[in-house]
Structure 1
Amino acid sequence: MDGPERAAVLLMSLGEDEAAKVMKHMNAREVQKVGAAMASLSNITTEQASGVLDDFISEAGEQTSLGVGADEYLRKTLINALGEDKANSLMDRIVVGGSTQGLDALKWMDARAVAEIIRLEHPQIIAIVLSHLDSDQAAEVLGQLSDRIRPDVIMRIASLDGIQPSAIRELDNIMEKQFSGNSNIKSSEVGGAKVAADMLNFLDSSDEEAIMEIVREHDEVLGDKIQELMFVFDNLVDVDDRGMQQLLREVASDQLSTAMKGASPDVQDKIFRNMSRRAAEMLKEDIEAMGPVKLSDVESAQKEILATARALADSGRISLGGKGDEYV
């Protein structure tokens, strides 16, 4: 089972009331993924359910309460030190990703519906909207837009470096024409090369390459900057052994064997070294038995594994390493 399916089993084991309490702390995309997994679950054996619960208890036992409620703790501390006005202004710059209520509503919508709302807007407006969405959802919306406009939008996202609250307020008014919501400005920092790179990571390789080719034609420096920030399958060699073992526990075996068909020798060696000898031998046998596999299927499997890796990194469970991390 993959991550959402394991979460679905855990929530369904808790019962309706407790599951509802947990889901209140999840964002829109997480609710959608876990909800879809819950709806599709069938014939879960006692052994599978017990395995999920045992893994959860084991991982929960390694966690501390540090970091829980950190935003609210930081806000109260800053208010006591600086006063409410200065504290709120500083929090807006620290807690990147806040948005207006209207923009938040987009996170609960299907990618096709979001694309329909924004497709006739100016590319700069589209860039700001996509910057407020989670990278995987933004990539789906971007995939629904025309080939002509996508490179322009990516360049604008990568070039964003802060935006005035008044502009966000105006954008919220545009969104309000499509659905209701209250304006509550929380942040004026959106976009950037990293946001653009994260979106491209979720696109099909052919779309990603087409967009990057046009971006480089217009601005080679910006294109190189985005490329450096993109996390591709070969970058898995930079994940430490403990992180790789954590990642492999979250990846389905058939998904891994398909992805490995197109992996570099370094990545293959990294993965095999972080498996038991028996598991590695079984994986090698599976790969050999598969025969030729469509490149599109390999790339799709690799993208899904990378999405899992990014989710683990975002939750602090693994470090992706590479150029994005610096240590002193």
Structure 2
Amino acid sequence: MTEKAKLEGVERSAILLLSLGEDEAAEVMRYLTPKEVQKLGVSMASLQRVSRDEAEAVLRDFRQRLERQTALGVGTDQYIRNMLVKALGPDKANSIIERILQGGEATGLENLKWMDARAVAELIKLEHPQVVAMVLAYMEPDQAAEIVHYLPERLRYEALLRVATLESVQPNALRELNEVFEQQLSGSANRVNVATLGGVKSAAEIMNNLEGSLATNIMAKIKEQDDDLAQKIQDQMFVFDDLVGVDDRGIQALLRDVPSETLIFALKGASPDLREKFFKNMSKRAAEMMRDDLEARGPVRVSEVESAQKEILAIAMRLESAGQLSLGGSSGEAYI
């Protein structure tokens, strides 16, 4: 196995940033999401000894990838703006565009995205459930799910219930909420432009990122209070086995971005139909190797399987946002 193959993608990125030096690495970090910064930071801190061969392999791979890029040097404001809007949609892209192109500081609510989930939960746990719902709806689904994990049990389902029924927020209310967190976090007073916040889809995305037992308990409590709403959320939720409904082109796009080790863990808990879906979109040799690896792996912890499946779902949702595959709801017709 080569040095490059031994390293996970995030470890290679960490080695690259450590090789760049503080100023250059900091400049790169400015363009990453809070979640990416956290993952890279942990990886950089945990690196012990990196051999010269490993470092050279990472730098060589980066140079080769860079040389293959065709858009290098375009770099205009309009190019960056168009790229971010296409990748993230206009709502999510606006705050990032403001910070990158105009050098704007993060707003009070935006600053929460850079905080540890436990710290955010501690900050909002005594707030009214409606305020908690607004904060959760403003976060990315995986971050919101982490925060929910640390909230008091009673507040969890109340907040998710309100996220699902939240359609829009008055600008004044959002502005006031933003100012409160700016004061608490000593942030700067910038304007937030959000037309819609929350809704059934937002609640479903957060639920998708919760661990299985926690999601089941919260859904049961929502169902007790509002059965129709619980069903609407359930219909919008997308679970790993629903990938069987993705077309072959989408599965192939997904396979290009998913590490083999992650796929092995995920497929340990997948249905036979979904396993075959992945196998038939690999080369014959790759499929045979994957089957052998699955058999050789033996029993694995449920938590490891769920973690791998969530990681793949997150990649699938990112690819859907970029228009590279199409995800149907859990109630959609599957292709066997």
- TM-score grouping bracket, smaller chain normalisation: 0.7 to 0.9
Q: Given the alignment of the two structures, is residue 95 of structure 1 paired with residue 91 of structure 2, yes or no?
A: yes
TM-score (norm 1): 0.80
Structure 1 segments unaligned to the other structure (5+ residues): 75-92
What corresponds to 1:83 in structure 2? none
Conserved 8 A contact 2:121-2:150: yes
| Secondary structure of the corresponding residue to residue 184 of structure 2 | coil
Which residue identity is paired with 1:270?
A: K
Distance change (3 Å), C-alpha of 1:104 and 1:37 = same
Q: How does 1:143-292 map to 2 (within 5 A)?
A: 143-188=149-194, 189-292=196-299
Deviation at 1:124, TM superposition (A): 0.4
State the Cα deviation string for residues 159-213 of structure 1 (Å, max 9, x = none): 1111112111221343245221233332242111121111111110111111112
Distance change (3 Å), C-alpha of 1:146 and 1:53 = farther
Q: Percent identity?
A: 47
Deviation at 1:250, TM superposition (A): 3.0
State the Cα deviation string for residues 108-165 of structure 1 (Å, max 9, x = none): 1111111111001110000001111121111111100122221111110111111112
| Secondary structure of the corresponding residue to residue 325 of structure 2 | coil
What corresponds to 1:69 in structure 2? 80
Q: Distance in 1 between matches of 2:200 and 2:316?
A: 20
Distance change (3 Å), C-alpha of 1:258 and 1:28 = closer
Matched residue count: 305
Cα RMSD for the two superposed structures: 3.2
Conserved 8 A contact 2:253-2:325: no
Q: Distance in 2 between matches of 1:186 and 1:288?
A: 51
Conserved 8 A contact 1:313-1:320: yes
Conserved 8 A contact 1:98-1:186: no
Match of 2:140 among 134, 138, 143: 134
Q: Distance in 2 between matches of 1:278 and 1:208?
A: 38
Q: Distance in 1 between matches of 2:211 and 2:83?
A: 38
Q: How does 1:16-31 map to 2 (within 5 A)?
A: 16-31=22-37
Deviation at 1:304, TM superposition (A): 1.9
TM-score (norm 2): 0.78
Conserved 8 A contact 1:169-1:183: no
Match of 1:293 among 297, 300, 303: 300
Q: Given the alignment of the two structures, is residue 124 of structure 1 paired with residue 130 of structure 2, yes or no?
A: yes
Q: Distance in 2 between matches of 1:142 and 1:323?
A: 23
Which residue identity is paired with 2:91?
A: V
Which residue identity is paired with 1:105?
A: N
What corresponds to 2:99 in structure 1? none
Conserved 8 A contact 2:109-2:182: no
